[in-house]
Amino acid sequence: SQQGEEDPQALSIQEGENATMNCSYKTSINNLQWYRQNSGRGLVHLILIRSNEREKHSGRLRVTLDTSKKSSSLLITASRAADTASYFCATDNAGGTSYGKLTFGQGTILTVHP
């Protein structure tokens, strides 16, 4: 079953606005990763946040992780039309093999209007 669940499923904003996407999960994790996908193409890694971290930044991206609530958020500031894409969270689930068993959410479709 899918562990990572993104919210909202779709988000439509104007250029310059901020976009926030949320991800919830159910089990313990080693890390949580955010990816971007443009229209059926390969996924591109954005940020990885480990279970002992609470916040990470990369350019216009800010990711937070709340392990007590089993949730994460991705904030894109000052959005651009080129940010239009699907965004996925993926959890690397702690378990017998420790790493490697990744579970992706169904994604948030972000549309940024010029």
- Contact residues toward another protein (CB under 8 A) are 1-2, 30-31, 33, 35, 40-45, 48, 88, 90, 92, 97, 99-107
What is the closest distance, in whole angstroms, from the C-beta atom of residue 15 to another protein in the complex?
Answer: 27
DSSP code string of the chain: ----EEE-SEEEEETTS-EEEEEE-SS-EEEEEEEEE-TTS-EEEEEEEETT--EEEETTEEEEEETTTTEEEEEE-S--GGG-EEEEEEEEE-STT-S--EEE---EEEEEE-
Using the minimum distance from each CB to another protein, give the nearer residue, 13 or 48: 48
What is the closest distance, in whole angstroms, from the C-beta atom of residue 13 to another protein in the complex?
Answer: 22
